[in-house]
Structure formats: structure tokens, C-alpha cells
Amino acid sequence: MDQANVLIVGGGVIGCAIAEALSRRWQDAFLVEQYAKFGMATSTRNSGVIHAGIYYPKDSLKARHCVNGNRLTKEFCAKHNVPCRTTGKLVVAKEASEEQELLDLMKKGEGNGVEGLRIVDPAGIRAIEPHVKGHAALLVPSTGICSAEDLVHALARIAEEQGASLVNHAKAVSLEPVNDAVRVRVRIGDEEQCKTETIEARCVINAAGLYSDEVAQLLGPRPWKIYPVRGEYCEIRGRRAELIHGLVYPLPHHDGLSLGLHLAKTLWGTVLVGPTAGYVEGKDNYERGRMTIPEFVRDAKTMLPELEESDLQLGYTGLRPKLVPPGGQGIADFVIEADKEVPRVIQLVGIESPGLTAAPAIAKHVFELVEEILH
């Protein structure tokens, strides 16, 4: 039986950021990831946007970790040659009736400590994005974009260089509290050819994303349930990608489900149109019943009137681990806490957007919780 100070369940951007942070202090950290590659699920199936922190309730974990994560993610990318660009973004009020919402959003962002926010008029929009139509827009200068895949790979590589053991094709199948540790059974390999190993860890971190509710329930009934919400993308390639220079967003959905179908100039010169947002059955439902290109165009044309169906091709999809059920309202905060019954297990549940941005700040938060357990 292997023994370790820390075992992390989940090798997305959150798990890899935690492994990178903890392995500076504890070289015997383990990370297990059920998929073949790190960051294969939610972490790399998104827009790669480094958010500023304008959308989230004041003093929430989402607000705090997003604002700090914006700076920390950019610093990490610069230090480790991860492709990254501070682009700024426009949040567009399409009609005069939306202007108050724009002002409220600016006030919320300022309350969270986001700097440099200002409202621009139609001429100001055209100066930044000549093809975008709107009544007014909120300019958010600190927003950026990065290569999510490169970010995950850099975090994983550095964690391993610092002594952490990262294992993929490895799924945690049981958690059992024993004395001053948690015994974790891990199934390694695929269904046809697998073996089971046991690791006894003084601290276990559940960073399993879409599956975080299921990992939490390995300890018995827990209060969380993840509802997968699929986001779908189209892409503009070639000459027509010049229609957009940076990041252009509508106002977010009133129900808190998503930030709306936006336009994002990627680091490789295409434009992502999306994501949509819809609850789906199944945590592997990436393709069934996808939206059509005409549906994408209808939505995106309200901000980008020149867009035509022939400009778009279907892109990838991603799943968000939502804590708010279908028909629910509002933004659920991140859950980052020691388990109430088994305090040697740290639960991270509902880590959706802005999780990519917030990853290094979340890792610092978890580091502090681990220190309390292992002191």
C-alpha cells in the first residue's frame, strides 16, 4: 500500500493547479485522473477566456478567486511560456432598455475590485470592433484569453518536476476513513485490463469536476448534485474571422445559466461563436441533439449583423458542472471546504466558470486548508 501526504482526485486545470501548488511543499503528492489525458473534459472545452470578475456576487468565492486568478493566471502564463493575451472585452447592450443592466454590471465589477471599467457609446464600440452593433458597451480591459490545453500541460509538467506523481487512466472507486488518513482504492487501466491499487493519504482533495458529486458520495450521502450543462460552439475561419478583433459578449442570461453566446478571437486567429447553454442528460453527452448553424447565426447576428451561415462551421462542445438544477435561478458559488464528517477530505464541487481563470487562486485556498490538516 502506497502512503502519501496528499492525494488529488481529478486532473483538470483545478487538480493540476493544486498539484503544482502543493508539490512545492509536499513532494509525495499524488494525482489520479480517470481519463487518458489531463484536462480532457471541462478544462479544455471552453473559450479559454481569462475573466476579470464582473459577474459574481460581492465577497463570493467566484468573485474573489476570479479577480485574484486573473492576475495569477497571466503571471503563470508569462513565466512558463503558455500562449496568453490580454485583449480586453466588450459587454454589449443591444438596446437602450439594457443600458441599466450594463451600469449594474459595471457597479458589481467595481465592487469586486475590477479596475478600468467604463461605458462606451456606439462610436466607442465601432472604434474597438468596427463590425459590432450595439447601443452601448462595458469595456473590461483586464479580460484576456489563453490556451487552456497548454495551461493544463504546464501545470502538470511543473507538478511532476517538483516531485508529484500524476497518474491517468486512474479512477478513485472508494474512500474509507482510517485513523489519521483516508484509504483510497484506485482502479488503474481500462475496463478490459485494469488493476486496483490502494493509497493511504493524510489528506484527499476532491477536484473531480463533473464527477465531484459522485466522488463526494464515496464517503456516503452528501448534499451536492451536479447537473451537466452543455455549451456548443461554432467557429469562423479564414478571411471572415477578421470581423472580430477581440472578445465581444452580450449581457449574461437573467437566470444565471450562462454569460451568453459570445464572439472570441482565438490565439490561432479563428473566432469562436458560443457557447450555448442547455441542460443535458449524461456527463458524456457532447454530441446528441446539437444546435444547427442557422440557430447560432440567429443569435450571433444581433451583435454581428454581417455574419452569414456560410461563415460558420460547427466546433466542439463542453459540459459545465452546474449546482443549480434545471428551472433554478441565480449563480451558485464554488464549494471549497473540508468535508463536515471526514475533515481530511477537501471537497471542491461546482467548479464551473470562472474555474479556468480562478485555478491558481483556488490552489492557494486549498493549500491553506491542507496546511491546517497536515500541520
**DSSP per position, 83-135:** -EEE--EEEEE-SGGGHHHHHHHHHHHHHTT--S-EEE-HHHHHHH-TT---S
pLDDT of residue 197: 96
Per-residue pLDDT reduced to its tens digit, 179-191: 999 999 999 998 7
DSSP string, 238-281: GGGGGG-SSEEEEPPPTTSS-S-SEEEE-TTS-EEEE---EE-S
Please indicate, yes or no, if residue 62 is contained in any of the structural domains. no
Q: What is the sign, positive or negative, of the torsion defined by CA atoms of 100, 51, 255, 223? A: negative
pLDDT at 161: 98
Question: Does residue 286 sit in the same domain as residue 201?
Answer: no
Q: Do 314 and 341 lie in a common domain?
A: no
Contact between 177 and 343 (Cβ < 8 Å) = no
Same domain? 361 vs 245:
no
pLDDT beyond 80 at 277: yes
Strand partners, 316: none
Whole-number pLDDT of residue 192: 80
Q: Examine the pLDDT at 254 and tell me if it is beyond 80.
A: no
**Same domain membership, residue 134 and residue 231:** yes
Q: Are 359 and 65 in contact (CB under 8 A)?
A: no
Contact 15, 33 (CB under 8 A): yes
Q: Is residue 341 part of a domain?
A: yes
CB 158 within 8 A of CB 166: no
143 domain residue, yes or no: no
Looking at residue 185, which CATH number applies to its domain? 3.50.50.60
Whether 313 and 239 share a structural domain: yes
Q: Where do we find the cell 451583435? A: 303
User: What is the overall mean pLDDT for the chain?
Assistant: 96
Average pLDDT over residues 259-276: 94
Residue 15 in any domain: the answer is yes
Q: Is residue 349 part of a domain?
A: yes
pTM of the model as a whole = 0.97
The predicted pLDDT at position 330 comes to 83
Q: How many domains does the chain have?
A: 2
Residue 78 lies in a domain: no
Q: Which residues contact 298 (CB under 8 A, 6 or more apart)?
A: none
The C-alpha atoms of residue 70 and residue 66 are separated, in whole angstroms, by 6
* Over residues 260-264, mean pLDDT: 93
Q: What is the pLDDT of residue 123?
A: 98
Q: Give the torsion through C-alpha atoms of 17, 18, 21, 25, to 10 deg.
A: -150
Question: 295 — phi, psi (to 5°)?
Answer: -65, -40
Confidence (pLDDT) at 259: 82
What is the tens place of the pLDDT at every residue in 189-228? 987 889 999 999 999 999 999 999 999 999 999 999 999 9
**Domain check: are 250 and 316 in the same one?**
yes
Q: Where is average pLDDT lowest: 14-18, 30-34, 186-190?
A: 186-190
CATH of the domain at 265: 3.30.9.10
Same domain, 196 and 265: no
What is the pLDDT averaged over residues 63-86? 98
Shared domain check, 241 and 214: no
Q: Is the pLDDT of residue 168 over 90?
A: yes
Would you tell me how many other CB atoms lie within 10 Å of the CB of residue 49? 23
The string of DSSP letters for 48-83 reads -EE--S-SSPTT-HHHHHHHHHHHHHHHHHHHTT--
Query: Is 53 a domain residue?
Result: no
Say if 81 falls within a structural domain: no
Mark whether 110 and 130 lie in a shared domain.
yes
Task: Report CA Rg, the chain.
Answer: 21
Tell me which of 280, 301, 322 is where a domain ends. Answer: 322
Residues 190 and 275 reside in one and the same domain: no
Same domain, 125 and 237: yes
Q: Which domain holds residue 235?
A: 89-138+227-322
**Same structural domain, 245 and 346:** no
